[in-house]
Amino acid sequence: MTRKSVDDPGEPPGIVLSAATSVWLPVSPQRLFDFLRDERLRSEWDILSNGGPMQEMAHIAKGQDHGNCVSLLRASAMNANQSSMLILQETCIDAAGSLVVYAPVDIPAMHVVMNGGDSAYVALLPSGFAIVPDGPGSRGPNSGAHTNSGGPNRVSGSLLTVAFQILVNSLPTAKLTVESVETVNNLISCTVQKIKAALHCES
């Protein structure tokens, strides 16, 4: 899906390309959530992490569950040609499912906000994941191959929805190109494959 962002507070102006897909993974929702929200493991699936671990710069709890929080992450530059970047991430989990939502943020803009400035001037294009159990018995953190009472062995799993938003052109009057569509398609495919490989799931 494409849309034009013009004078929308909190969003960069231009053409925004949004794409999403859903896959089933033979992994418990809790394990998948813990993997995706862990900044130390982010380089295993996030190509924006510059191939290295991220550092949590700030942590704001949103409840008693440690999984409900807002974090500010920093990716270290791997060489002199790369600049460090910040990622604002929010995670939440309950019995129905969980979310891991994040967005790259401008470092100077975040400094302004952290010093009491207006957050409306920070442009965000969130991307992320939604995780839901694929049925009864797959919600627990230790769910795996098990036997349902009176039923055959069943491998519990999760339905993972991956969604990305990308600013493909800073001009709202620009046209969408085939290359932009291929880029976001490759980004989703690569991310899903990296998650499967990291969790040792079959293709």
Report pLDDT digits (tens) over 135-145. 765 544 444 44
Query: How many angstroms separate the CA atoms of 88 and 196, rounded?
Result: 24
pLDDT band at 94, cuts 50/70/90?
very high
Query: Token digits for 100?
Result: 């891991």
Return the bridge partners of 69, or none: 61, 91
Predicted structure pTM score: 0.83
Query: How many angstroms separate the CA atoms of 43 and 166, rounded?
Result: 19
**pLDDT of amino acid 8:** 77
Half-sphere exposure for 8 (CA within 13 Å, toward CB): 15
Going by C-alpha positions, the residue among 129, 165, 126, 192 that lies closest to residue 1 is 165
Q: Which of 96-110, 125-139, 150-164 reaches the highest mean pLDDT? A: 96-110
Considering just the CA atoms, what is the radius of gyration of the chain in Å? 18
One-letter amino acid of 115: N
Query: How many angstroms separate the CA atoms of 200 and 51, rounded?
Result: 19
**What crossing angle do the helices spanning 29-37 and 178-198 adopt, rounded to 10°?**
120
Higher-confidence position of 150 and 57: 57
Query: How many angstroms separate the CA atoms of 133 and 90, rounded?
Result: 20
Mean pLDDT along residues 133-157: 56
Q: In the chain, what percentage of residues exceed pLDDT 70?
A: 84
Consecutive H or E run containing 5:
strand 2-5
